[in-house]
Structure formats: C-alpha cells, structure tokens
Amino acid sequence: MEIFLIGDNQVSQSSDLPPSPPSSGFLWIDCTHEEVAADPECWRDAIAAATGTHIYDPHLIDAINSAHPSYFDSTQDYGMLVFRKLSVHGNSVTASAVGTVDNDEASHDSQANGKRKVLPALNNLVTQPITFFLFDNALVTVHEHHSRTIAAVRSRLLDYVSKNNKSLHGNRLPVSPEDLMLRLLNAMVDKYLELRQPLTAQLDRWQRALLDPARPFKDWLTLLDARIELRKLESLCEEQHDAVQELRDYFVDTGSDNGTDISRNQDLLLVRIHDVMEHITRVLNHASRLESSIESAVQIHFSAVSHRTNEIMRVLTVITALFMPLTLITGIFGMNFEVMPLLKNATGFWLTMASMVVVVIVMLLYFRHRRYLERPSLVRD
C-alpha cells in the first residue's frame, strides 16, 4: 500500500494510513487486490478512518472482483469507477503495443517454418480491472500487483518531491482527486491507442495473404480468433465509454448541487473527461473498422477464388468444345461399314487429319472473335 498526501505545491509519501482525514490537500491511497482481499473489513475500517467515509459491502466486493466489467456507481458520500485496463501479464499484447516485437523477424520465422503465424497483437487481449473510489478528500485505487500506469504516476510524484518546483513547472500536480483519477484514466486509454499500429499492420498482412494466388490461405481459425478478439475489444470500449459517461454525469450533477456555476477547475475536469471519452471512441471506431476490413478481405478472397475457378472452367470448356467435333469425326470413321468414303483411299488419312485441323482452326478463330479466349491483364506495381 502506498499513500501520498498531495497539496498545492508539495507531495509527501507514507506507508501508513493517517488516523484522520487531512486538513489540507488530498490523499492518494494505492492498494492491490491482494492487500484488500487479505482482510477486507480491516482495510475498509482503515480507509474510513483516513477519509471519514465508509465503503459499502457491494462496492467492497466489486473492488476485489477480477472479472468485473467497466462500471460506475455513486452514493451520497463517494463515487466508484471500475475500469478495465490492459494488463502487463498479457505479454503478447503489451509487447506488440509498445513495439518490442520485431514484425519483420516474426514474419521471416513464420515463412521459414512453412506456416503462417499471426503476430501477437490480437493473440490474447488480457485486461484487468482497476477500481477508483472517489472521495472529497481522497482517491483510493485498487488494482493488480503490476500496473505500469500506476507506477509511472507514482514515479512522477516522487520526482516532484525530489526536484525543485521551478524545474517542474510543466509537471503540474493534480489539484483534486478527480484530476488525479482522470490523469490515470487518460494514461490507461492511451495504451489502447498504441494497439492501432500493430493491429493495422497485421490486418494488412492478412489481406495480402488472402489475395496471394501462389499460397492458399489456411489460417482460418486464426482469422476467426482475431475477429473474436476485435469484438471483445469493441465490447470493452463500449463498457468503458458508458462508465466514463456516467462519471461525467456525476461530475456535472455534483457541480450543479453546489448551487454555483461551473468553476474553472470543474470546467477543466470536464475537458479532461471529454478527452478520455474521445480516446475511447477512437479505439472503438478503429476496432470496428478493422473488423469491417477483415469481413471485406474475406469477401474479396472468396470472390478471387470464385473468379479463378471460373477461369479454369472456361479453359476446360474451350478444350472440351475443341475436341467434340474431333471426337465426332473419329467416331464416324470408327464405324464398322465395309464401304465408306476415303476408307480405302491412299490419302484418306491425311485428308481426315487436315479436316480436323481446319475444324480446330475455325473454332479457335470463332472463340477469339467471341472473346472467349481473352484473359484479364494483371498489372502489378
């Protein structure tokens, strides 16, 4: 458990919860699921002593539920937001998102093995919930043990403590628990935005593989898994957007209940939350476009396969049409009659062969005139 007391121009860190709410500034209490699940009642009593607010039992259960979807709920004393973020345990997703996987090397290894293998950008989309308890004088976060976003924000706060304030004029401290929470949410959503480039690159490779006539596409199960993961990403973004929308309404209602106009700080909070919602919408739209592109690529693939099949059938039909009159001629001369024209003629064989060649030439000219033998020109850059 990490505790930060954030004031106007100072930050102090502690490992023990204060016995009473702070007189100035606000607290950031950062906990893990293991710490809360070890003794929920003791943890809740300690939070109540430090913030002056008692957390309800259903919210306490939701805070340690690792399968809880993105969700927002509020009471008269506090608000609770559950937000699912990318987990560092999903090494495949995180590695692709931050660019630690060399796409060219992976593609080369796959071709060397003679099999197509998808890159891990969509192989396993692992998420974990992080729960925010928003009080008037504190922000409580409950998350998994490993959280890069939480660690990055903690390090920035510690840098603020260790450095001169003048050198960090651009790194402004959060002015309220709401401001700190929105900064954390924005950093988490940015991790989803980093997925766009590897996902787009992977889709481009699939499209080329689907339309490659030299190597038939066989990774249909992988493509189906990718569609499933994209739909999971869409559902995840929709849940996030709904939860953040509820949080925005909570901010607006809280500001309206004070009986005053929206202050500059409240306006800044709304701007930040709108930015978070816009980022979530961007990820949602990108996932929808990728799924639509996969559908289009599959349809183009089957259209290309059907076109190739039609070309093969056209060639076979032309060959069959050429041999039909030749078969008729050979069938006539194969009849068991004693008297037949050209049968006992010394030049009969050659005349018959010449007539068969003439028939083939005439039919080829006719097919060419009717454009049955034309092939579409393929131009490649």
Task: Classify residue 344: in a domain, yes or no.
Answer: no
Quickly tell me which residue has 């037949």 as its tokens: 340
Specify the pairing of strand 138-143 against strand 79-86.
Answer: unpaired
Give the list of residues 6+ apart from residue 4 with CB closer than 8 angstroms, or none: 11, 12, 13, 14, 27, 28, 30, 154, 157
Which residue reads 């919602």 in tokens? 277
Q: Is residue 266 part of a domain?
A: no
Report yes or no on 83 lying in a domain: yes
**Residue 184 lies inside a defined structural domain of this protein:** no
The answer to whether position 163 is within a domain reads: yes
Tens-place pLDDT, residues 153-175? 888 887 766 554 444 444 678 88
Regions in the chain scoring below 50 on pLDDT:
88-119, 164-170, 259, 261, 378-381
Domain at 64, CATH number: 3.30.460.20
**278 located within any domain:** no
Count: domains in the chain: 1
Distance CA 233, CA 250 (A): 26
CA–chain centroid gap for 182, Å, is 23
For residue 48, give both structure tokens. Answer: 């109540």
- Per-residue buried b or exposed e for 352-364, using 16+ beta carbons within 10 Å of the residue's own CB: beeeeeebeeebe
Would residue 170 count as lying in a domain? yes
Place of tokens 């490649």: 380
Task: Provide CB contacts within 8 A for 20, sequence distance 6+.
Answer: 49, 50, 52
Amino acid at 63: A
Q: Which domain holds residue 137?
A: 1-89+126-176
In the chain, how long is the greatest CA-to-CA distance?
Answer: 126
What's the confidence (pLDDT) of residue 122?
A: 56
- pLDDT value for 163: 56
Per the structure block, which two tokens stand in for 179? 């401001």
89, β-bridge pairs: none
Q: Quote the pLDDT of residue 142.
A: 92
Q: Smallest Cα–Cα separation from 77: which of 61, 53, 46?
A: 53
Q: How far apart are the C-alpha atoms of 63 and 73, rounded to whole Å?
A: 12
Across 91-126, b (16+ Cβ under 10 Å) vs e yields ebbbebbeeebebeeeeeeeeeeeebebbbbbbebe
Q: Is residue 298, in this structure, part of any structural domain at all?
A: no
Write down the number of H helices and E strands in the chain: 11, 7
**Selection from 247, 243, 290 nearest residue 270 by Cα:** 247
Question: 282 - beta bridge partners?
Answer: none
Q: How many whole angstroms separate alpha carbon 133 and alpha carbon 49?
A: 15
Contact 363, 372 (CB under 8 A): no
